[in-house]
Structure 1
Amino acid sequence: MPGPSLTRPRPGRDIPPSGAAPAQAPPYDGRLTGDGGLRLLVSLLRPRPRPLAVAALWSVVEALPTLLSGLLIATAVDRGFLAGSPGTGLAWLGLLGLTMLVQAAAVRMMFPALAAVVEPLRDDLVAAVVTAAVTRAAKSARPPDAAAVTRLTEQVETVRNLVSALLRSTRALGVSLVAALGGLLLLSPLLAAVVAVPVTVALVVFARLLRVLVARQRALILADEELTGQATPILAGLRDVAACGARWQAYATVRAAVDTQVAATHALAWAGLSRRLVVALGAHLPLFALLIAARPLIGDGHLSAGEVVGAVTYLATGLDPALRALTGVVGGWGVTLAVTLRRLGETIAPPPEPSASTPVPPAPYGTAPQPGPSVPAPVPPSPYGIALAAVADVEPVGHGLRLENVGFAYAPEATPVVRHLDLTIAEGEHLAVVGPSGIGKSTLSMLLTGIRRPTEGRILLGGLPIEAVPEHRLRSLMALVPQEAYVFTGTVAENLAYLRPEGTRVAGERLEAAAEAVGAGALVERLGGLRATIEEPAALSAGERQLIALARVHASPARIVVLDEATCHLDPAAEQRAEAAFAARGGTLVVIAHRMSSAGRAGRVLLMDGTAALTGSHRELTARSPLYADLVGHWHGGDPSGHRPPEGSR
């Protein structure tokens, strides 16, 4: 498990104080116009001008009641109710109601346009995040970015929901605010000038507050990512945590990240309370002042009673909701959207190409550094007395494997899973690996195929250290079939030809022959042939997925095939057929045995018992090793010779 060493922490030294912030990205200055955030949003919205224009047009229509409400109510009061003509007053109010019906129709017409913007935007972001995560993982020597899961799920969905909410709730914000102030100006220029002063002060205060909100929202997002990055490897390695007695250190590591996240949440909440001040300054204060000054203004003839009612309408139903939306939606959802977009913009940007002066980042525990295009590779010792940089482009001679004093542990102070293993696997050999459950057989399969690097010793492939073999060459030479087979949505041919350099251009006869050899021919026929599409891979049984994975590797150019319990979901007869197919295919075959019958079919057997490793034929190990004889006898019902008793004798 990558990450900190799993040892019992020393109080006061290894356990960080509660609330200590882990290392994270540099602080953000709070500006919304930085590269990444708004620029990313613009790039996402630019391909959809038509639905955006339609939504804006209907937003203008929707703001019609806000623009006319104060004028219509003032006219209804002055020319209708106060003039002794209630019918005229009701007529003017009816006209206001008609504008509200128009508003409702505009809202109804606008939603399809919003959907045409939001859903494709979410799809584009998902594609960008996945592409960036895979590209960075392929080009970097560091472990895969666990925080990418947070970006792909939480942050992308946050952007989708917030863009939808902002377009739905604030598309008419500017129009409504302008409409309320414009209507007030038409009603009474004096009142409009007086109201403009506190509104301007409120907007200035809100602009200053936005910087604080943005900085604290960014701190919260980074704390979420840090928590995911700390917790993911610990949750994935709970068995090692328990085995090493490192529960308290794991607890302290996650607790520090949780405390940081809680502190960031509280800081953002306190900053959010300041938004109430903006509404009080911009809307409540002018309304309160108008109500106090209404009687003198009417008495002096500056305003009529209807104009006062109209002005109150603009302030209470136009300006107040607009400022609430500005502070609540823009100050809440808008800040979250801007910061999340900025973070996504930072992480989906292509990684910079390392230069000769760029230091190589430290490799994770148990792996070899992967030099960049312009960075010279480190020079580990070579069995030939030459640097690996000098042989990096040299092909291995054959594909024999040799393990020299190989050891591997999942953490620096954890008990090694593999220790002091010396083993030679000749080119074309058929080797079976057996041992009790949890002894390290699957770990050995990852070491043999270069997925894991040994923490001690070295592995040679064709005479070259395995880390000196170019990655593309290593992947074409080796194939590992794990216990949980992977089948993706696509045609049967695409699944079977996935490991072929030429892809689906490979002849169908070759794919059909590979499927038939491992026993998947009937399955391919049942699915509808090579051109049939596998719509739901999960609908296939575990055994059917294993057959497809076996056929895929059988059709590949790999010269070394490792089957890590890759037939565990097949019956013994199907397992025997698959192993026989790979043995007859040519190349090296290593079988991590699920059944002891696999050992009986192998030319040589490696027995792992946790302390030493024995090799020999099936008969030799049965005679030499009590553990091996016990495994054989347990599988075959007490007969250590490896032969099943006749049917009916038990």
Structure 2
Amino acid sequence: MPGSAVTPASAPPTAALVLRLGEDGHPPGGFRLLLTLLRPRRRPLAFALAWALVEAVPGLLSGLLVAGAIDDGFLAGRPETGLAWLGLLAIAMLLKTAATRLMFPHLAAVVEPLRDDLVRAVVTATVTRAARGDRPDTAAVSRLTGQVETLRNLVSALLRTTHGLGISLIAALAGLLVLSPLAAAIVAGPVLVAVAVCVWLLRVLLVRQRRLILADETLTAEATPILEGTRDIAACGAREQAYATVRAAVDAHAAATHALARAGVFRRLIVAIGAHLPLLGLVIAAEPLTRQGHLSVGEVVGAVTYLVTGLQPALQSLTGILSSWGVALAVTLRRIAETIAVPADDAPAAAAPFGVAPFGTTHPADVPAPPFGTGSPAGCELRAKGLGFAYAPQATPVVHDLDLVVPEGDHLTVVGPSGIGKSTLSLLLTGLRRPTGGEILLGGLPLEAIAERGLRSMMALVPQEAYVFAGTVRENLGYLCPAGTVDAWLREAADRVGAWALVERLGGLNAEIDEPGALSAGERQLIALARTYASPARLVVLDEATCHLDPAAEAKAENAFAARPGTLIVIAHRISSAIRARRILLMDGTAAHTGTHADLLTRSPLYADLVGHWTNDRAPGAHPGHPLSTRRFS
């Protein structure tokens, strides 16, 4: 990736990061994941550690040099000797500065590629599970964004600081022991107590940090489908239930955050016991110990130097870092290790190309494909029997006991008020959502019994938000076509749906689309329509796929698909789509009615009302293409 400091040769393979479940069914720990991430980068790690040892030289020598400057220099009447000792300390400090500067490039070579490795691991594991037919993992978004970035930053911060702080702490204690074993004995007791308190605190923080991570995932998993389905929630009258669900997740997240913050108060106690108490004891004992000859003045000052410049800041920083960054790292590592672990017999599935899985031009990240069978349907007749769908057991069904037959070659338009469930029906008919009741047959076979490759080639769904990927225009238009499709067919498909003028404006089939987002919504729809027209799909569903086109362009595209061999189902954006259709399916929230335009006008008050609104909305003097010349359903 751009900006990555790792070369392809040094990057661990993606499959290595997809951890395997153990024989007991439990995932490996986060420590194994960290080792897997760092193992290919042992060389820069070794260099960073070597420079960290050089960094610790002043911490090891500071007390000894200060004691020598006082005892052998200034108190002995030899100021030049004292200054020489202090000069050596200054040289050691310069050496530390140089070591710090030389260490950072090696740390960067370790840390910078971590995010790319983790993103590949999370995506690979998520796709592997989806291909196996597991339930969609909506919390994967939280791991791809918050957790992966947090883990990368934590590893960076900890490698940058804790190794130096740990070595400085050890150097200060070692220097104190060399300077005066008696002073070291005074300090040892409180430090051991502080270490015990720190171990206890880390265990508490690990539990509470894990609760916070899980609460964050739960909040993402609960809120994501609710935010995506606001129209259906409104149509079902499930606002209070949706609010209660999100509110419970938010409250749990807040409680976990407060519990973690309360436990962090004990960090001050550790510093007080391990650094402040030894300093106080040493100051109190200094007068009798020096008077009795057990300590010299220089040794007392040297010991205080170790405590004030070495032990106290190192212990304070190390405690704060371990209890915050360290705990967060351990918990996040464990959570990601759990979620990227797959059964040993599941090799990472090769990711399907964008736009193929599932069905036509739907973005592949929108919904996971269900598991497929091996059957081959006899034709493209689509039949729904007792079809029902509700977003929750207590919710009002969006689709209720629908019986529908769409013969091969039919042209059906689905109409109804906004939020009534038309888009949900399109997902059900194409197998992108599982019904909660009834079944859907294609060519006499249930959708889940049909071979995946065959189903993908037979059905295509063009959603409202069309997907265009970076590449040439030819690659975009021919994406769903079999190998060897000639350019002439791509040109004809684009021309028939009204997209050829756009293709010429972009520079022809060889033109590069570097920034798909730079295209307008209508231009992306034209490319998606041409792509689907050129595909071998015999059943096409247009789910408001022309909503960003003007009425004339919409009519051209729909007429092209209607004349194309196969079946066309249109989720109507304008009433004009219904008038063009051979048959109409009217959804009113409680039942569904089928018929022709003239038939529904006479026997359905709702349909007559919709058409009446469309007629009344035509402003005086309105002309085809005028914004008021059509009635929109959504």
TM-score (structure 1 length as normaliser): 0.80
How far apart are 1:429 and its partner, in Å?
A: 1.8
In 1, Cα distance between the equivalents of 2:298 and 2:33? 48
- Contact 2:179–2:303 (Cα < 8 Å) also in 1: yes
Deviations 1:252-279 (Å, cap 9, x if unpaired)?
Answer: 4344434433333333334333333433
How far 1:563 moved relative to its partner? 0.6
Match of 1:590 in 2: 569
TM-superposed deviation, 1:343: 0.4
Paired with 2:108 and 2:479, the residues of 1 have a C-alpha distance of 36
- Determine the C-alpha separation between the residues in 2 that align with 1:645 and 1:307: 97
Q: 2:67 aligns with which of 69, 74, 93?
A: 74
Distance 1:228 1:602 in 2: 41
Q: Cα gap change, 1:410/1:226 in structure 2, threshold over 3 Å: closer, same or farther?
A: closer
Q: Give the corresponding residue for 1:43.
A: 36
Query: Where do 1:498-647 residues align within 5 Å?
Result: 498-500=479-481, 506-622=485-601, 625=604, 627-632=606-611, 634-635=613-614
State the partner residue of 1:217. Answer: 209
Structure 1 residue 275 corresponds to structure 2 residue 267? yes
Larger mean CA deviation between 577-586 and 68-77 belongs to 577-586
Report deviation, 1:633: 5.2
Q: What's 1:57 paired with? A: 50
Distance of aligned partners of 1:338 and 1:407 in 2 relative to their CA distance in 1, 3 Å threshold: closer
Contact in 1 for aligned 2:369/2:432 (Cα 8 Å): no
| Alignment deviations for residues 213-261 of structure 1 (CA, whole Å, 9 cap, x no partner) | 2222212222222233233333444455555555554444344434433
Aligned residue identity for 1:126: V
In structure 2, relative to structure 1, the CA distance for the partners of 1:439 and 1:239 (3 Å cut) is closer
CA-to-aligned-CA distance 1:40-77 (integer Å, 9 cap, x gap): 11111122223322322222222222122112211222
Change (3 A) 1:272 1:414: closer
Q: Do residues 421 (structure 1) and 402 (structure 2) align?
A: yes
Aligned partner of 1:312 in structure 2 is 304
**Secondary structure of 2:112's aligned partner:** helix
Aligned to 1:118: 111
**Alignment partners' CA distance in 1, 2:200 and 2:419:** 59
Gap change, CA 1:112 and 1:527, over 3 Å in 2: farther
1:266 and 2:247 aligned: no
Report what 1:164 is aligned to: 156
Deviation per CA, 1:142-162: give whole Å up to 9, x if none. Answer: 2x2222222122111211111
Residues 1:445 and 2:426 are matched in the alignment = yes
**Alignment correspondent of 1:187:** 179
Task: Give 3-state SS (helix, strand or coil) of 2:113's partner.
Answer: helix
Deviation for aligned residue 1:182: 2.5
Equivalent residue for 1:20?
Answer: none
Calculate percent identity across the aligned residue pairs: 70
Residue 303 in structure 1 maps to residue 295 in structure 2: yes
Q: CA deviation at 1:86?
A: 3.8
Task: Specify the alignment match of 2:23 in structure 1.
Answer: none
Q: Which secondary structure does the structure 1 equivalent of 2:40 belong to?
A: coil
- Alignment partner, residue 105 of structure 1: 98
Residue in 1 that maps onto 2:86: 93
Q: How many residue pairs get matched?
A: 579
Match of 2:441 in 1: 460
Are residues 203 and 228 of structure 1, via their aligned partners in 2, closer, same or farther at CA, if it must alter by over 3 Å? same
Q: 1:402 aligns with which of 383, 389, 402?
A: 383
Work out the CA distance in 2 between the residues paired with 1:43 and 1:272.
30
Q: Is contact 1:180–1:318 with CA below 8 Å preserved after alignment?
A: yes
Correspondent of 2:468 among 474, 482, 487: 487
Contact 1:476 1:557 in 2 (8 A): yes
The offset of 1:138, in angstroms, is: 3.5
- Measured in 1, the distance between the counterparts of 2:165 and 2:172 equals 11
Secondary structure in structure 2 of the residue aligned to 1:46: helix
Q: Is the 8 A contact 2:202 2:323 kept in 1?
A: yes
Q: Give the letter for the 2:74 counterpart.
A: F
For residue 335 of structure 2, what is the amino acid of its counterpart? R
Letter in 1 for 2:469: F
In structure 1, what is the Cα distance between the partners aligned to 2:126 and 2:533?
30
- Return the letter of the residue paired with 1:280: A
The partner residue of 2:322 within 327, 330, 333 is 330
1:621 to partner: Cα distance: 4.3
> How has the CA–CA distance of structure 1 residues 313 and 224 changed in structure 2, closer, same or farther, with 3 Å as cutoff?
same
Q: Is the contact made by 2:370 and 2:432 (CA closer than 8 Å) also made in structure 1?
A: no
The verdict on how the C-alpha distance between 1:624 and 1:409 changes in structure 2, with shifts beyond 3 A counting, is: same
Residue type of the partner of 1:521?
W
Residues 634, 118 of structure 1: CA spacing in aligned structure 2 closer, same or farther, 3 A cutoff? same
Q: Any idea what SS the aligned residue of 2:329 has? A: helix
In 2, are the aligned partners of 1:405 and 1:419 still within 8 Å (CA)? yes
The 8 Å contact of residues 36 and 344 in structure 1, kept in 2 or not, is answered as no
C-alpha distance 39-512 of structure 1, shift in aligned 2 (>3 A): farther
Cα separation, 1, equivalents of 2:624 and 2:309: 90
Q: State the secondary structure of the residue aligned to 1:35.
A: coil
| CA distance 1:297–1:625, shift in 2 (3 Å) | closer
Inter-partner Cα distance in structure 1 for 2:494 and 2:50: 59
- Tell me, yes or no, if the aligned pair for 1:240 and 1:414 is still in contact at 8 Å: no
1:646–1:592: structure 2 CA closer, same or farther, 3 Å change rule? closer
Structure 1's 591 and 147: CA in aligned 2 closer, same or farther, altered over 3 A?
same
- The CA deviation string for residues 113-147 of structure 1, in whole angstroms up to 9 with x for no partner, is 222222210111122122222332332352x2222
Q: Can you give the 5+ residue segments of structure 2 that lack an aligned partner in the other structure? A: 1-25, 347-366, 630-634
- Taking only aligned residues, the RMSD between alpha carbons, in angstroms, comes to 3.3
Aligned residue identity for 2:521: A
Q: In structure 2, what is the Cα distance between the partners aligned to 1:312 and 1:645?
A: 89
- Gap change, CA 1:413 and 1:207, over 3 Å in 2: closer
TM-superposed CA distance for 1:314, in Å, is 0.8
1:376 alignment partner in structure 2: none
Structure 2 vs 1, CA of residues 319 and 464 (structure 1 numbering), >3 Å: closer, same or farther?
same
- C-alpha separation between the residues in 2 aligned to 1:587 and 1:546? 21
